[in-house]
Each structure stands twice: as structure tokens, then as C-alpha cells.
Amino acid sequence: MSASLSADINVSPLRRAPRIYTRDEHDISRKYISPGALKVLYRLDSAGYRACLVGGGVRDLLLGREPKDFDIATDAQPEQIRELFRNCRLIGRRFRLAHVRFGPEIVEVATFRAAHVDDSDEAQTSDEGRILRDNIYGAIEDDVWRRDFTVNALYYDIHDFSVIDYVGGVEDLKQGVLRLIGDADVRYREDPVRMLRAIRFAVKLGFKLDPAAAQPLTTLGHLLEEIAPARLFDEALKLFHGGCALQAFAEMRQHGLFARLFPATEATLAHLDGGFPATLVGRALASTDARVAEGKPVTPSFLLAALLWDALDAERAKLEGTGMAAPDALTLGGDRVISQQVARLAIPRRFTQATREIWALQLRLPRRSASRVPRLLEHPRFRAAYDFLALRAGAGEPLHELVEWWTAYQDADAAGRAELLNALSADGAARPRRRRRRRSGA
């Protein structure tokens, strides 16, 4: 990118002629665009509106990757879009969007946005600069300056199949640089989630984060505490379930952002920097990345169990120190740790409940007997709890023999399982005796 172009990107929105890449100058083919997105693009174009594929879809197609989503930008306003598509629903107050559904596919359509007008009811900004409402419509040359990164501000125009580049995004794709559009301090204050998006896109694309975009992350991280916990949970899922969780985690910690999402976890990891990859959290993140790479399912519950395990262990130790029984200490400690966490990330109850069950089974898995083992094996969280037990063993807890036993039991046939259970009884590992209760009034 030239020095003059780079300077233009880091000032207020400027109007200048875009670089137009004609059909023979880029590799985007319509056969790689979803049928639903093409229907929307063609219908808008036929109705006389400008219709462009924009954002990550264009970026990924230019990189030779398969896009996950196809977003569309147009000069048609939301109500006009709804008139064209019966299968359309308008959503959002902060940003008014149209969702056009084709079976399981939802195509998101946004109207070109323009700069804020201070006295407009359709655009509101907080005292800190955060955008609260953003429904000022404009043209494509206005809309481009409202986007976050240069590589996400490329438009594929269905009318002539050209790629339109106002900000040098194509060149940044070639150079592998993630560059913010506009002044970083202003853009991050407009929407603090952009800081997390900067980390996510940099590690996902394997790009270098431009120094101008990286420098403010540490000083502005506190702005994330103003964001709705539900939105932060959605962004955390994208960070940790995108196949680059371990790298994203390291980058977030480097810039002080992870502590804003998981303060209890950061507190327990503060003294482990030297050997972090071998810790429980490091192994859980690496395991998540491996499962994503293999196309296996991942769930927030398992990773949450690992992220908060050390915090739970500390809380449980305090409660047991007061004389509380281990199962009760684990239950109450888990409630406290999770309550603190959901104040930062609005984690749905179905995930936190599964995390609690994984933790509870850590106390039950060592208590093996002929009656207990089959019931544990049928528990819906058994496999996750077993994997978590193995993760703990790999992180250094003295659980290898227990993990080996459960591994052998799962792999054995009926005779082999019976033999393993008989060996437990012979070794004195059967159900522990219960204490007799004293009779009152004796």
C-alpha cells in the first residue's frame, strides 16, 4: 500500500475514486456464491438497486477460501427490501437489517450507511463515543468508511461482476496485513467489540495486525465492560470455536483483553506464563482446535469447564476448609464461579448446567463399583467428563491410572468389563463404607 493511501485510511472519511477490479482482474466466480445470495443480488439489481456482496464473503473468495456467510449491501432501504422478498424479516434497532430466508440459509442485507448527523434521531452515540443507533443511509462511497478493516471493505458488484476497492483492501490481502479504517481510538470507541474482531481476524487469516490497530488495544480494553454480556458471549464463541482458539487466547492475553472476559481465569493463570501450553486451559484450547480441524463437534460447556476449573478448585478448597463436604463444596463453589462469569458473558443456562455436570462427575468417576460404573457410563455427560479427566491427567494431576482404567473399561467386551470390576473388589476399591449415624437419645 502506498504511503499516501495508508495516511488517507487513518483520517476522517475521505471521498476518492475507488480502484475497480474488472471481471478479468480477480478470481471471484459466481459458482462459489450461495444460490440464496445470488437470488437476492439479482432481484435487487433487476429492481434498479445497487447490489453488492460485501465483507468476509468477498475477502474469503479472493483468498480462495470457502465463505461461511454471504452478506449483501445495497442502496435499497429496509422497507424496500421487504417489498421485494416475501421471505424477508427486518431485525435490529442499533443497525436495521433485512434477513432473507431460503430454507436453512439466511442472507443478511444491509442498506449502505453514511456518516452520523448529530441532530438525527436515527444516529445516537454515547458520551464515550460508542454507537448506540446507526440508521443513517447513504451511498456505497459513504458506506465503505463505516466498515472496520480494509480487507472487509471490498464490494463485489453483481451488475458488472467487478470488485470495488476504496481503501486498498486488495493490496492488504496480498500483503497479509489487517488494517483498521480510520483512527483506531475513534473506531474502537464506536464499537469496542472491534478490538476482539481485530484479534479474531488476524489469527483466522494468519495476518499481521497493523501497529496502528494493535497499539490501543491495551489502553482501551476496559471499554469491553460496557458491552452487553450476550454480545460478548457470541464474540467469544467465534474466537474459541473458529479453529484458532489457542492462538487467539495468546493474543488476547498479550493485549490484556482476555482478563476483560474471563477475570477469574486470568487470575489463576497469571503465575503460569512460562509453561502455559501444558496447563489444563492450554490443552483444552489445543484440543478444541484439533476437533474443529477434524470436523468434530465442539461445545462451550467443555471449554468453560477447563477455563474455570482452577478458579473452582480454589473456591472449593476454601469451602472444604470450613468443614463442608467435598460434593457440597464443589456444587456451591461452582455456583459462585459461574455466577461471577455470566456477569461478563451471558452464557446460556444449557451450557453452564452441562459444565456443572462435567465438574460433578470428576468426584464420581474415581468411585468405581459394580453398581456405579454402568450407571456412570450411561450418564449423558460421561464422555465429556471422561475427556476432561484425561485432560486433567495430561496437565499433571495424578490421575493416569484412573484414566487408563476407564479407557480399558470402555474398550472391553462384557467379559473384560466384568474382570475389571472384579479386580476393583480384589484391590479394595469397592464402594466405601458409610458411617453409621448415632442414634439420638441412646
| Residue of 75, 143, 148, 165 marked active site | 148
Query: Distance (Å, rounded) from C-alpha 73 to C-alpha 97?
Result: 10
Q: Name the residue with cell 454480556.
A: 229
Q: Tell me if residue 71 is catalytic.
A: yes
Among 209, 186, 212, smallest CA distance to 197 is for 209
SS3 of the chain: the string is CCHHHHHHHCCCCCCCCCEEECHHHCCCCHHHCCHHHHHHHHHHHHCCCCEEEECHHHHHHHCCCCCCCCEEEECCCHHHHHHHCCCEEEECCCCCEEEEEECCEEEEEEECECCCCCCCCCEEECCCCCEEEECCECCHHHHHHHCCEHHHCEEEECCCCEEEECCCHHHHHHHCEECECCCHHHHHHHCCHHHHHHHHHHHHHCCEECHHHHCCHHHHHHHHHHCCHHHHHHHHHHHHCCCCHHHHHHHHHHCCCHHHHCHHHHHHHCCCHHHHHHCHHHHHHHHHHHHHHCCCCCCHHHHHHHHCHHHHHHHHHHHHHCCCCHHHHHHHHHHHHHHHHHCCCCCCHHHHHHHHHHHHHHHHCCCCCCCHHHHHHCCCCHHHHHHHHHHHHHCCCCCHHHHHHHHHHHHCCHHHHHHHHHHHHHCCCCCCCCCCCCCCCC
Q: Is 165 a catalytic residue?
A: no
Whole-number Å distance between alpha carbons of 182 and 60: 23
Give CA–CA dist 132/217, Å, rounded. 21
Residues 6+ apart with CB under 8 A from 23: 160, 161, 162
Return the C-alpha cell found at 365: 468417576
Task: Please tell me which residue in 69, 142, 183, 387 is annotated as part of the active site.
Answer: 69
Of 71, 143, 157, 191, the active-site residue reads 71
What the block records as the C-alpha cell of 324 is 463442608
Is residue 142 among the annotated active site residues?
no
C-alpha pair distances (Å), 359 with each of 128, 138, 241, 288, 321: 40, 52, 21, 18, 19
The residues carrying an active-site annotation are: 69, 71, 148
